[in-house]
Amino acid sequence: MSNTYSIGDLAREFDLTTRAIRFYEDLGLLQPQRSGPGGRSRIYSLRDRTRLKLTLRAKRLGLSLTEAKDIIDTYDSPRDTGAQLSKFLDVLALHRKQVEEQMADLQANLDEIKVHQREARALLAKADQLDQADQADQADKAPAAKPKSPAKGRKPTVPLSLQLSPA
């Protein structure tokens, strides 16, 4: 594999838009070399590819891009690896705490939804029972069926058997 990449190469490899890659560049996560007229062409190094891969991994973990940049930048410095790993663990611990709090909030929300669902089902069942009882009462009290009245403007039709014949 080549040690340099175009913006299109990275976009295809990581299933990103070129706009997203330029955004990461604007944040300082990537630092491609420029070439061509006016420096319009970007040439990304193996280092940029690795930084992009780490950025996407941090996003999947739920870290902000600023947190990702801070962590990734520590690996670029010649400092002690122990300090770098400690910083990484601190960021992960803080993020884990936030995610656990969010999960607790979501679980409380879910529990509340379940309570409301049970209450609504109970009320619906009670309403159905009342409707059925009302319908039964109405059926018991209903008078004998009345003959239908004719439509407005029409004379009622009388069956032949009931018509009076002239005597």
* Signed CA dihedral, 20, 22, 26, 28: sign only: positive
The Cα–Cα gap between 8 and 102 comes to 37
* CA dist list (Å): 93 to 86, 99, 102: 10, 10, 14
- Summarize pLDDT for 78-137 with one digit per residue, the tens: 666 787 788 888 888 988 999 999 999 999 999 999 999 999 999 999 988 888 888 887
87 burial (CB, 10 Å; 0-12 / 13-18 / 19+) is middle
Residue 156, pLDDT score = 56
**Predicted TM-score of the model (pTM):** 0.57
Average pLDDT over residues 40-45: 91
Q: Region 43-66: what's the mean pLDDT?
A: 92
Phi-psi region of 28 (alpha: psi -120 to 50; beta: other; left: phi over 0): left
Q: What is the mean pLDDT of the chain?
A: 84
* CA distances (Å), origin 109, targets 105, 106, 116, 117: 6, 5, 11, 12
